[in-house]
Amino acid sequence: MSLGVFGGTFNPIHFAHLRVAETVWEALDLERVLLIPSADPPHKSRRLASATHRLEMVKLASASNPSLEALDLELKRPGPSYTVDTLRALSRRYKGQQLWFLLGTDTLTELDSWHEPETLLGLANFAVVGRPGSDHQPLESLLPERLAGSFIADPNVLKHESGREIRSVPFPPLGISASDIRKRIARGASIRYLVPDAVIEYIEKHHLYQEGS
């Protein structure tokens, strides 16, 4: 059995997030994809809705899809939400199952700035999806130089010395971003068809992302 691991701020979760999860779930024949909102993301300095609100929106967005599961793993852990700690915990919880960590091409290029990146690469396989406007570059050209030496390149796959791999998953870019959604909410514009209706209702009920909120 294989599980997808999709972490992020989800501030808020939107249809592009859901399409990424569905696309990787189907392409890699995963049992399900775990959606894990960051409680205290070390790379994000901008204002976030509370972790509790973001988790609730993820639950609402994924409720109708049995292939998606929202987890509060990082909300229960104090301190910065380091992905390496999350993958360690998931490796213990789902012992014997293959983990696939989902990330974008832009994130892969910055992986050396993450906490314990060498350890991270030995804990899970990586499924890399393109972002809007990203070039179709070979995976090995996207890896930071500091990490590239521990990989062997195959067509569309990078094999790590631990036996894990980084695999590219084709994804038709969707021009939807959480930052644009927040800006639209702040100026009173519609976000219909950008996020699930249940998430819109939650945002309106709790007055999230509005000016002065």
Q: How do residues 79-122 score in pLDDT, each as one tens digit?
A: 889 999 999 999 999 998 999 999 999 899 999 999 999 999 99
- Sign of the CA dihedral with 209 first, then 36, 124, and 28 last: negative
- pLDDT for the residue 41: 86
CB of 193 closer than 8 Å to CB of 187: no
- pLDDT for the residue 138: 78
CATH topology of domain 2-177: Rossmann fold (3.40.50)
CA distance 13 to 36: 11
Give this prediction's pTM: 0.93
The predicted model gives 120-139 an average pLDDT of 80
pLDDT band at 46 (very low <50, low <70, confident <90, very high): low
Over residues 140-191, the pLDDT tens digits come to: 888 898 998 888 877 668 899 999 999 999 888 888 999 999 999 999 999 9
Structure tokens at 147: 């990490």
CA distance 83 to 171: 23
- pLDDT for the residue 142: 86
CA distance 177 to 92: 33
